[in-house]
Chain A
Amino acid sequence: MRFALHAALVAAFALVPLAAPWLGFVFTLVLAKGLAALGVAILLRAGLISIGHAAFYALGAYAVAAMSENAVSDLVLQLIAATLVSALAGALIGLFLVRYRGIFFAMLNLAVSMVFYTLLSKMYHLTGGTDGLRVDTPTVFGAVIDRDTLEPILLYGGLALVIVVGLAVHRYLKSPMGEALPAVETNEIRLEYLGIAVPRVLLSAYTLSAALAGLGGGVHALLVGHVVPDLAYWTTSGQLVLVAVLGGIGGVVGPFVGSFFLEIVRSFAVIYVADTWNLIVGAGLLVVIFFLPVGLYGLLDRAVRRSAK
C-alpha cells in the first residue's frame, strides 16, 4: 500500500511540470531543499537539532560554483565534488560536535554556520562577497547544452537521484547504525552499556547529513545559476529544520513532502500575497507541531491506509 502511495507521489511529481512548465523550476528546488532537509531529519531522529546545516548546503553550492569557475564543467563531476566536499567538512566538524547534545549542539552548529556565512560574504576575492558567484550552464557527459535543456535534466535526473538516494538512506535507517539513532535520543547511556559506540553512530549520521545537504546545495547552484552567502545564513538552516518537521521525520519521504509544501506556499505567496509567506509557513509549522506530531507525510500515509481498509 505504501509502495502505491510512493509511486503515486513520484508519478504526480513527474507529470505535473509537463502540464505547467513553470512549476519545473519550483519542483527541482523542492528536490534540492528536500535532500538537505532529509539530512537534518536524520539528525533529528537522534534528538539532535542542527540550526546550521545551511552551511553544508551553501558549501555544496559554492563547490559547484568553484568547479564551474575553474573550467570543470561536467554536471556529474560537479555534483560529486559538492557531495564529497560537504561530507569531508561534515566529518571534520562532526568530530568536535558529536560530543554535544541538545541546545549546545544546536548553538555550536549555529556558530559554525555563521562563521562560514561571514567568511563567504567577506572573502571577496574568493567568493565574490555578498554579490555571490555565477554558475555557468554545465555540460552533461561532454555535451554542451543550454538552459532550456538543463532544467528538465535537473528535474528528472534529480528525481531519479532522489529515488536512489532515498532508497539508500532508507536502508541506512533500517541498519543497526540507523536504528541506533532514535535510541540515542531515548537513552544514550543504556546504548553505551549495550556496547554501541554512540560517538561513531552520531559521526556517521552527521557526515551523511552533511553530504546530503551538500548534494542538495549543488543541485540548487546548478538550477539557480548563482550562489550567494545568504544560503548559509541561520534562517536558511531554520527553514531546513522546519521543512523536516513539517513533512515528518519518521521516514525518508517526509522531508520531501515538507519541502514541496514550503516551496509551493512560497511560490503562491510571492505571487498573491507578498511579504506574508513567512507568516503562513510559521503558522503552518505551529499547526503541525501542536496537532500533527507525525507531520504532513504521516497524515497522508494514515489517510491512504485508512481508505484501503
Chain B
Amino acid sequence: MDVIIPMLVDGLAASAVIFFIAVGLTLVFSVLRVLNVAHGSFYSIGAYVAVSIGGLAASAGLNPWLSFPILLLSAALTAAALGPFIERTFIRWTYGKPEAVQILVTFALFLIFEDLQKLVFGVQSYYEDSAMQVLGTSEIGGIIYLNYQLLLIALAVLLIVALRVMLSHTRLGKLIVAVVADPEISQTLGINASRVYSAAFTIGVFLAALGGALATPTSGVAPGLGADAIVLGFAVAAIGGLGQIEGAAIAAVIVGITRVLAIYYAPAFEPVMPYLVMLAVLLVRPYGLFGAAQARRI
C-alpha cells in the first residue's frame, strides 16, 4: 500500500510532460491533418532556449523565482519565432497531399533542426534547475516529494481546462472548431482558414516548447532529446486517438503509470511500455481509444 502513492505521483508527473508533447501534436493533427515529425524539434528547441535564458538569468544573479516566467517566456519566444514561419513556408504546401509526403517534409525539417541545434548549442548537455530548487520538497506520509513534480501535474490539469475553455469560449477557439468541422463551409462564411491554420500550428509549437522548457529543471537537455520526444508523443497521441485532446490526456496517464509500474517491477522494460501499450491498443482499436473510424474512399 505504501508504494502506491509515490508511484502515482511519479507516474502522473511523467504523464504531465508526455501530455504536453502529445496534446500539441494531436491539436495540430486535428486542425491541419498533418502528422508533424518536427514537433519533437520544437520540444527540444524549447528546452534549449529555456536553459540558455535560465542560465543567463542565474549568472546575472536574478531572483530564482523568476525562473517560472522565464520558462513560459522561452516557450512563447520559440513559438513566435518558428510557428508562423514554418507553417507559412513548408507545412502549408503539404495540405491535402498524401500522408507519405507530409511525413517526409516534416522529417526533413526535423533533420535540419537537429543540426541547427547542434550548431547553435553544441553537443554538450545542459542543466539549469533553479526552478526545481526554489520550490523545494514536501513530505507526505513520511515520503519526500519534489514540489516541482506536483506543480507539473497541476499545470497539465490546468492545460486541459484552458484548452477546453479556449476551444469552446473564445473567438479563436470557435474559429478552429468551425474549420475542423468543415474548412470549405467555414471559408464561405468568411473565416480566414489559412490564418486559423497558422494560429493552430503556432499553439502546437508553443505547447511542445513549453513541454520541453518545463522538463529541463528535472531532466536537463542533451542532443537526441527531440528524437525521443517525438516517438513518445506519437505513441501517446495514437493511443488516445489522433485529434482527441482528452484522449491524449488519458493516454498520457496510462503510459506514465505503466512506465512507473515497469520501473518498480521490471526496470529493463520501462522504455518499451509506451510502445507495447500502443501496439495493444491499436491492434484492438485501430483508431485509438477515443478516435473515430474514417470512411474508406471509393
Contact = CB atoms under 8 A, between A and B. Distances in A.
A119 interface: yes
Interface in B31-85: 35, 37
Nearest to B123: A275
Interface in A158-207: 187-190
A103 B111 contact: no
Interface string B278-296: 1100110011000000001
Contact of A103 (B35, B227, B279): B35
22 contacts: A47-B98, A100-B282, A100-B286, A103-B99, A106-B35, A106-B99, A107-B235, A110-B231, A110-B234, A111-B282, A115-B272, A115-B276, A118-B275, A188-B296, A235-B227, A278-B111, A278-B115, A282-B110, A283-B108, A286-B105, A286-B108, A289-B108
A189 B115 CA distance: 43
Contacts, number: 123
Contacts of B110: 238, 282
Contact of A234 (B93, B123, B231, B279): B231
A282 B238 CA distance: 26
A114 B233 CA distance: 13
A115 B269 CA distance: 9
Contact of B104 (A102, A123, A242): A242
B215 to A, nearest CB: 20
Interface in A68-122: 96, 99-100, 102-104, 106-108, 110-112, 114-115, 118-119, 122
Contacts of A281: 111
B242 A103 contact: yes
Contacts of B93: 290
Interface of B: 35, 37, 90, 93, 98-101, 103-105, 107-112, 114-116, 118-119, 123, 227, 231, 234-235, 238, 242, 268-269, 271-272, 275-276, 278-279, 282-283, 286-287, 296-298
A114 B275 contact: yes
Nearest to A48: B100
B238 A104 contact: yes
A115 B297 CA distance: 32
Contacts of A278: 111-112, 114-115
A49 B107 CA distance: 12
B226 to A, nearest CB: 10
Contacts of B98: 47
A281 B37 CA distance: 16
Contacts of B231: 110, 114, 234
Contact of A286 (B90, B103, B271, B275): B90
Most buried by A among B37, B104, B296: B104
A283 B112 contact: yes
A231 interface: no
Nearest to B278: A111
Contact of A242 (B90, B107, B118, B286): B107
A235 B114 CA distance: 11
Nearest to B29: A103
Interface in A243-275: 245, 275
Contact of B105 (A123, A235, A289): A289
Interface string A17-45: 00000000000000000000000000010
Given A286-B108, A289-B105, A111 B279 contact: yes
Contact of A115 (B90, B109, B116, B275): B275
A123 B269 CA distance: 9
Q: How large is the interface on A (under 10, 10 to 19, 20 to 34, 35 or more residues)?
A: 35 or more
A100 B99 CA distance: 13
A107 B282 contact: yes
Given A51-B103, A118-B272, A282 B109 contact: yes
Most buried by A among B110, B275, B279, B298: B275
A114 B35 CA distance: 18
A281 B104 CA distance: 12
Most buried by B among A51, A187, A241, A286: A286
Contact of A99 (B90, B238, B286): B286
A224 interface: no
A108 B99 contact: no
Contacts of B119: 275-276, 279
A277 interface: yes
A111 B275 contact: yes
Nearest to A286: B108
Nearest to B94: A289
B89 to A, nearest CB: 10
B115 A241 contact: no
A119 B272 contact: yes
A102 B123 CA distance: 35
B297 to A, nearest CB: 8
Given A278-B115, A279-B111, A281-B111, A122 B268 contact: yes
